Amino acid sequence: MSAPQRLVVVGAAGRMGRAFLEAAAAHEDLEIIGAVVKSGDDAARRTLAVETPSGTKEWRPVEDGVPLLAGADAVVEFAEPAATARYARAAAEAGCAFLSGTTGLDEAAKRALEEAATRVAVFHAPNLSFGVAVLSDLVREAARRLGPGYDVEIIEAHHRMKADAPSGTALKLLDAVRGARGALAAVHGREGRTGPRPDRQIGVHAIRAGQIVGEHTVLFAGPGECIALEHSALSRACFAEGAVRAVRFLKTARPGLYGMDALSAAETGDRS
């Protein structure tokens, strides 16, 4: 058996970080050698622990994971755009693959990913669910086949603590519609006397409430009918499983910037 893939997890105390710890710790081919939390986070003063079939696994969190990268094969980051940029650069310097599931990236973070991808394998996806990847394909096909006679609206819902809106997944779905229908003007919510809906407009609406994990609906409304394509995340396990599969993909990937399409093609053998 080959040596396990050594991982440093950035944002380990967050919702997705903990979900990834739980998923990865159950696999013998993955070894988490570092759990990184935000500077000043109370989580730095306590052990992070998850239950696995073989027993409890624990990590003492650190606030700076860069020194750990010398012994790592990959960095897995679920934090914030500033951390995305910092650890992408650090991973490239250390020769580590880099996976980020952070959304709402600013231009600095996007540029850091692109620059790191010239040196190491980089994987970024605003949503690591394979169900959402399929939804995106279905949305693109529906937009193409239904044509301009059908209005399109995107509605997304997340928990009250989510920092960015619209979600990265909603923006990906918007890109899927535009890929089939060309340039559509996005309007984020409506208020007042807006007048009749323009032909080449698409509404994008964000809901933030309670503990909603993630819900996305793309509505196509045409003459006498409506079609709704939906995805609901019942837990973060679907994202964590996608991240596990993406990390394994990175083990043999060449330098470059990858996403869910590349992962799906690699697993299915579809090179089209």
pLDDT digits (tens, 9 = 90+) for 118-164: 999 999 998 999 999 999 999 999 999 999 999 999 999 999 999 89
- Whether 40 and 116 map to the same domain: the answer is yes
DSSP string, 9-28: EETTTSHHHHHHHHHHHT-T
- Whether 64 and 159 map to the same domain: the answer is no
- Whether 48 and 120 map to the same domain: the answer is yes
Domain containing residue 170: 130-233
Rg (C-alpha) for the chain, rounded Å, is: 20
pLDDT band at residue 265 under the 50/70/90 scheme: confident
d(CA 64, CA 37): 8
The size of the chain, in residues, is 272
Q: What is the CATH number of the domain that holds 136?
A: 3.30.360.10
Q: Kindly report the number of other CB atoms within 10 A of residue 134's CB atom.
A: 14
- Whether 31 and 155 map to the same domain: the answer is no
Q: How many domains are there within the chain?
A: 2
Which pair of structure tokens corresponds to residue 220?
A: 């196509």
- Whether 47 and 100 map to the same domain: the answer is yes
- Whether 214 and 249 map to the same domain: the answer is no
Q: Kindly report the number of other CB atoms within 10 A of residue 70's CB atom.
A: 10
pLDDT digits (tens, 9 = 90+) for 61-118: 999 999 999 999 999 999 999 999 999 999 999 999 999 999 889 999 999 999 999 9
Prior bond to 166 cis, omega within 30?
yes
- Whether 221 and 207 map to the same domain: the answer is yes
- Whether 29 and 158 map to the same domain: the answer is no
Closest CA to 218 of 226, 186, 163, 242: 226
- Whether 148 and 208 map to the same domain: the answer is yes
pLDDT digits (tens, 9 = 90+) for 22-76: 999 999 999 999 999 988 777 778 888 888 777 888 899 999 999 999 999 999 9
pLDDT of residue 220: 98
Annotated active-site residue in 158, 172, 216, 231 = 158
- Whether 185 and 245 map to the same domain: the answer is no
Compute the average pLDDT of residues 190-197. Answer: 92
pLDDT of residue 270: 65
Q: What is the CATH number of the domain that holds 76?
A: 3.40.50.720
Backbone angles phi, psi at 251, to 5 degrees: -60, -35
- SS3 for 233? strand
- Whether 152 and 32 map to the same domain: the answer is no
pLDDT digits (tens, 9 = 90+) for 154-169: 999 999 999 899 999 9
Q: Kindly report the number of other CB atoms within 10 A of residue 131's CB atom.
A: 14
Residue 158 annotated in active site:
yes
**Predicted model pTM:** 0.85
pLDDT of residue 1: 60
Q: Are 96 and 73 in contact (CB under 8 A)?
A: yes
Residue 57 annotated in active site:
no
- Whether 111 and 136 map to the same domain: the answer is no
CB neighbour list of residue 70: distance below 8 Å, 6 or more residues apart: 94
